[in-house]
Structure 1
Amino acid sequence: MHPLRDAQLGAFTFFASALPHDVCGSNGLPLTPNSIKILGRFQILKTITHPRLCQYVDISRGKHERLVVVAEHYESSLKDFQKEGNPISLEKVLQIAYEALEGLEFMNKHGMVHRTLAPHNILMDCEGKVKLSKFGLYHMTDHGADVDFPIGYPSYLAPEVIAQGSFHRSDPSHREAPLPSGPKTDVWSLGLLLLELCVGRCLLQSINISERLKFILNLGCMDDIITVLAEEHGCLERVKELPENILALLRKCLTFNPCKRPTPAELLRDPVLEGVSCLYTPFLKPVGLFSSSLRCAQLELPDDISELCKSPPTAYRNTADGEDYLAERSIDEVYYLWCLAGGDLEKELTNKGIIQSKPPVCTLPNFLLEDGESFGQGRDRSFLLDDTTVTLSLCQLKNRLKDVAGEVYYPLLEDEQSSLPHSNSSNELSATVTLPLIIRERDTEYQLLRIVLFDRLLQAYPFKKNQVWREARVDIPPLLRGLAWAALLGVEGDIQAKYEGIDKDTPIPTDRQIEVDIPRCHQYDELLSSPQGHVKFRRVLKAWVVSHPDLVYWQGLDSLCAPFLYLNFNNEALAYACMSAFIPKYLYNFFLKDNSHVIQEYLTVFSQMIAFHDPELSNHLNEIGFIPDLYAIPWFLTMFTHVFPLHKIFHLWDTLLLGNSSFPFCIGVAILQQLRDRLLANGFNECILLFSDLPEIDIERCVRESINLFCWTPKSATYRQHAQPPKPPADNNGFSKASSYFSSDYQDLPKTDLSREPLRLSDLKAEVSPRISAEDLIDLCELSGPGHFKTPTKRTKSSKPKILALDIRSSEDFNRGHISGSVNIPYSTAFSPDGELVQCAATSTLQSFRGRVIVVISHAMKSAAMFTAHLVKVNYPRVCILDGGINKMKPTGLLTVPSPQI
């Protein structure tokens, strides 16, 4: 979007037509309200940016089908010229004609027609350039079918539009809708507007509407429409004084027969406007973030670069100098901050008298008696279109941001040494960073700072990918969440060309299931429940199915798609690209036709994670038979999108996308721990009921505890055979070593003799506690040093959990060689026949390490598994097994032998 600059934010409101409450669609579901249909169609208007069009910003849905539209606005319009009462210069007429046609042509390329051209809808910016307003009303209302008022002004409607008459779908006298208007209807409207400018007065306004319509239709019998119009309104002399090129332009615009009337594109290239067209350069749409084209291809620098350094940039002047930094931000950013600063659309419209409340008794419908007598209210005029645009005041926002330094709007990005998780953008607002996320997201100053920083980082993507990752660890501004997620997922290249190359139209067997699932997926959300949302859902899901022939559509894929589609509603290609990058990382092979082995391994590792972090809860759930197969499959198959609303998923995935494929295990454990007391107090049936309607989960607490669980989990403890294969060694996704540990998977690390070995599913299920690799043990025990084995996954000391290496071999074997610092508790002496831990000097040491990571080491894996099962049974947390036992450690040279006592 372009900067706000001298523009203003304007809002206007109208009502969608109401639907009957007792009627259902062909699928048996209630009909979609017309206001939601309009809201869905509106979204594409936000992407249509052109210097001759007023940028659409937002649409808000209120009570009783009320809609409020926010768009770029200017106070000056062609209506101001009409008030002056004098004809304007002919050069100005040609300029307005050319600029208006430019805007109309751009609309036509996007399949849209204005249909509401009128003097007050052709605005003028501070430079006197044309800005077409309300150009999307005809499109968003489905050519007027979803509202109770006609689209357009009778004085300026083309004859063919008037001949069609009014139409509404609820009217039984109309069996089928007329064809929608084409681009040529706007040419007629523009011709009338230009003629009014030339003669200096309004035409077709002084007679009543029925006579006006008759007059327009009768013009078809006239040879020279312009002369007839001039004679009718007493301005023939002024018309005769017009130059031939102006008259030629007007005659072409006011051609009665639409077949002979030119389109805006044809008129732009007509010799009549040849002298004007040479003054304008063609509009080039800015290159998007994900494209094969160069984003800086049009960048121009002065010949002498040193000229830029002679004086301080105006960007860093003090705000007292009158610099309006906010005007340089995009219009959607300004509106977003306006809302955060307390902006209320309905309040603004109410203050200007546009919205007027009535007592309920005054809004009773009318009714008819048998004799035809009518009682009650007539048609409420407030439900017709009042196209008054109210300017939204930015004073409150500017007052809120008056103390924000100018440097905040132009952050430096070259400081690569900022520590984690502290952000180099939060120096002035460091106190805000410590507040809960929901408060930070509503803080105007803080969001301005974060939006500006992320905007600059994303513009430098993928060069600044590492800094995007670092800043995302602090938080992600909601306004830029879609692009930030794409950057975190490593989306690059010409995604639009790839998406367009996928066949999304040919019927496939999955179509039926997709059609059934979409109307049930996050339909509480107005955007996703709109018909446009369903169409986009269908296209993105089908594109994924078609482009992954080795995988199949499983129920839940629609829920997985929902967050990406919501954030990238106007960019299906980016939603598809994000989804295609997300699934291999977190759900590799989950969508195989036979995914039972993948799911079973995943659930088994999850069971081990529950036992690792909360053995008491694990013991209780196993005793009552409430296994993860009964509740966790929808969690992981949809990455929690099936069980949480979108606003919670956004906060959850902000952190999930920073982690590796094992992070969902930690989220699952954190959810169970929030429900811990209720789970421990209930049996199987009660737990089933509890999870059939999941209680409210504190997502911020869940995220915080998930990170803590992740930091306590050895990386190899969540190893899965069916995880994504390792990436090429050269591909580090652009991340630094600091970020690589958190975001990379254990499978991505180079394999050595100390790496964890794969297990059969049956053997994995037989073990209560997870295994860890010898690499992890060496790292956790800080055994790396000069001359010793060094692991590439070494953590920093600040994040290193304390550990107990517990050797359960016999004393004789222990004395022949053991890990330095390990404790020896022979298996045969540790537990009584009934499974209770025997109290002795060694077990008191074990008790002192309760809560730390306990790595059980043996020469036989079966005895190690039994020992850990006993520890879990007596509620020892964070218990794991050294994969391969002591034999894995022997080649490292890190085993020590006690010195003989003298």
Structure 2
Amino acid sequence: MKNNNDNNSSLDSRFNQTLKNVQGLLKGRSIPGKVLLTRRSDPPEEPSIRSPSFGRSLSENNAGTSDRMDMSREAEVQKPNSNPTANKLKSTTSNIETTSKEVQKPPTGARSTDSARVMKFTKELSSSTVMLERLRELAWSGVPSYMRPTVWRLVLGCTPPNSDRREGVLKRKHIEYHDSVAQFYDIPDTERSDDEINMLRQISVDCPRTVPDVTFFQQPQVQKSLERILYTWAIRHPASGYVQGINDLATPFLVVFLSEYLEGDIDSWSISDLSPDKISSIEADCYCCLSKLLDGMQDHYTFAQPGIQRLVFKLKELVRRIDEPVSRHIEEQGLEFLQFAFRWFNCLLIREVCIISSSNHYIHMPDLSTFC
């Protein structure tokens, strides 16, 4: 018994030391990698209606990262072999005011299988009360791009299943977000604490680095919208505050909800074409969905990041049980799982797999904490 306790204590000590080493190596650096919103080789879900996508490359100017953000970074990883190129995908607008406008007809050139899926989504969304469990099952394999905003709001709980209450609840959430921005963001720095000033400064540094290959995300108004979303979320979640990487998690929501109002390729989008009220509504939807997504995994971003440590341990045990030779080889090489798996769990694999596909899976889980 004493030997087992000593071994467990030694294992914990090694794990904690590795975590400190990883944090030290990444001090002052941002998380490398790229964000993909679509698979490069796979065809889109519908032939004529496609979602915007973009790639992310490693930023070379990463100065200004605070010590608090060091805990959210991973160990050294290889840079991509080639520069990512932004994919241009078309999107169509949809209206969220009524159910009949939410569910549009599928494109005329769709394959029979696509048409059947669209019909299933249309039938479900046209119900007076949406069955969320059935909708999650449908959405697990992907959601038609023009239905995605409506589906994401529903399955994340930002709008209720009852169609009669949906518009009123959505308006209330928009008002709540607008009030929060006025209370926490639209104030002078003299009314902020030192920690809040530092956090806002870090967010303002990270926003221009978010998806740098896409011109749209370099528009000052887009960066301001992202800054408001992230800062408001951080203030409302003081246990973790802002952690580097959350900015990337917000981008798919921003693109999806903007696609309701902006047509064509994402490179042709201009947020200045939208009224302030519409921009505020889009930000509110992004804020709500981001909050719901992170609710089940907030301990990923609190002090010492126990959620990520727990997942790394689970991954290590899973590899040991499924493929013991690989586990033994990793151990013999002196490689710690934390060194390569940290980024996977910190950013929900958005630099490894298609972010829209992975977001569909995360979003449509009844309880993300069971996955994380």
The interval holding the TM-score normalised by the smaller chain is 0.5 to 0.7
Mark the CA change 1:467 to 1:536 in structure 2 (over 3 Å): closer, same or farther.
same
C-alpha deviation, 1:445, in angstroms: 4.6
Partner of 2:58: none
- 1:548 matches 2:259: no
Identity of aligned residues (%): 20
Maintained 8 Å contact 2:316/2:337? yes
C-alpha deviation, 1:595, in angstroms: 2.9
Partner of 2:55: none
Mark the CA change 1:548 to 1:566 in structure 2 (over 3 Å): closer, same or farther.
same
Name the aligned partner's letter for residue 186 of structure 2.
D
Within a 5 Å distance, the mapping from 1:6-405 to structure 2 comes to 288=97, 337=107, 397=108, 400=109
Post-superposition Cα deviations, 1:97-152, rounded to whole Å, max 9, x if no partner, equal: xxxxxxxxxxxxxxxxxxxxxxxxxxxxxxxxxxxxxxxxxxxxxxxxxxxxxxxx
Which one of the candidate residues 251, 257, 266 is aligned to 1:568?
Answer: 257
C-alpha deviation, 1:331, in angstroms: 11
What SS does structure 1 have at the residue aligned with 2:300?
coil
Find the aligned partners of 2:335 and 2:317 in 1 and give their Cα distance. Answer: 14
C-alpha deviation, 1:481, in angstroms: 2.0
Paired residue total: 242
Which one of the candidate residues 314, 320, 327 is aligned to 1:605?
Answer: 314
Find the aligned partners of 1:651 and 1:551 in 2 and give their Cα distance. Answer: 27
Find the aligned partners of 2:112 and 2:224 in 1 and give their Cα distance. Answer: 38
Maintained 8 Å contact 2:132/2:154? yes
Find the aligned partners of 1:69 and 1:557 in 2 and give their Cα distance. Answer: 25
Within a 5 Å distance, the mapping from 1:722-761 to structure 2 comes to 745=370
Maintained 8 Å contact 2:203/2:227? yes
Which one of the candidate residues 555, 580, 588 is aligned to 2:298?
Answer: 588
Within a 5 Å distance, the mapping from 1:650-665 to structure 2 comes to 650-659=356-365
Partner of 2:288: 577
Identify unmatched segments of 5+ residues in structure 2. 1-61, 64-86, 160-168, 190-195, 259-278
Find the aligned partners of 1:554 and 1:490 in 2 and give their Cα distance. Answer: 24
- Give the aligned CA root-mean-square deviation in angstroms: 3.7
Post-superposition Cα deviations, 1:194-240, rounded to whole Å, max 9, x if no partner, equal: xxxxxxxxxxxxxxxxxxxxxxxxxxxxxxxxxxxxxxxxxxxxxxx
C-alpha deviation, 1:444, in angstroms: 4.6
Mark the CA change 1:650 to 1:70 in structure 2 (over 3 Å): closer, same or farther.
closer
- 1:636 matches 2:345: yes
Which one of the candidate residues 214, 226, 229 is aligned to 1:525?
Answer: 214
C-alpha deviation, 1:563, in angstroms: 1.4
What SS does structure 2 have at the residue aligned with 1:476?
coil
Higher strand share: 1
C-alpha deviation, 1:613, in angstroms: 2.4
Post-superposition Cα deviations, 1:752-802, rounded to whole Å, max 9, x if no partner, equal: xxxxxxxxxxxxxxxxxxxxxxxxxxxxxxxxxxxxxxxxxxxxxxxxxxx
Find the aligned partners of 1:600 and 1:631 in 2 and give their Cα distance. Answer: 13
Name the aligned partner's letter for residue 287 of structure 2.
Y
- 1:626 matches 2:315: no
C-alpha deviation, 1:661, in angstroms: 6.4
Post-superposition Cα deviations, 1:22-76, rounded to whole Å, max 9, x if no partner, equal: xxxxx99xxxxxxxxxxxxxxxxxxxxxxxxxxxxxxxx99xxxxx9999xxxxx
Post-superposition Cα deviations, 1:504-538, rounded to whole Å, max 9, x if no partner, equal: 32343211111111111222234433333212211
Within a 5 Å distance, the mapping from 1:398-437 to structure 2 comes to 400=109
C-alpha deviation, 1:576, in angstroms: 0.9
Which one of the candidate residues 145, 156, 170 is aligned to 1:489?
Answer: 156
Higher helix share: 2
- 1:471 matches 2:138: yes
Post-superposition Cα deviations, 1:452-483, rounded to whole Å, max 9, x if no partner, equal: 54244335475322221221234321222232
C-alpha deviation, 1:589, in angstroms: 1.6
Find the aligned partners of 2:91 and 2:311 in 1 and give their Cα distance. Answer: 47
Maintained 8 Å contact 2:103/2:126? no
Q: Which has the larger radius of gyration?
A: 1
What SS does structure 1 have at the residue aligned with 2:298?
coil
C-alpha deviation, 1:652, in angstroms: 2.2
What SS does structure 2 have at the residue aligned with 1:654?
helix
C-alpha deviation, 1:614, in angstroms: 2.2
C-alpha deviation, 1:498, in angstroms: 2.0
Mark the CA change 1:452 to 1:505 in structure 2 (over 3 Å): closer, same or farther.
farther
Post-superposition Cα deviations, 1:584-604, rounded to whole Å, max 9, x if no partner, equal: 22x232222x13433322221
Mark the CA change 1:456 to 1:541 in structure 2 (over 3 Å): closer, same or farther.
farther
Within a 5 Å distance, the mapping from 1:809-820 to structure 2 comes to none
Find the aligned partners of 1:635 and 1:69 in 2 and give their Cα distance. Answer: 29
Maintained 8 Å contact 2:140/2:361? yes
Maintained 8 Å contact 2:300/2:306? no
What is the TM-score with the length of structure 2 in the denominator? 0.55
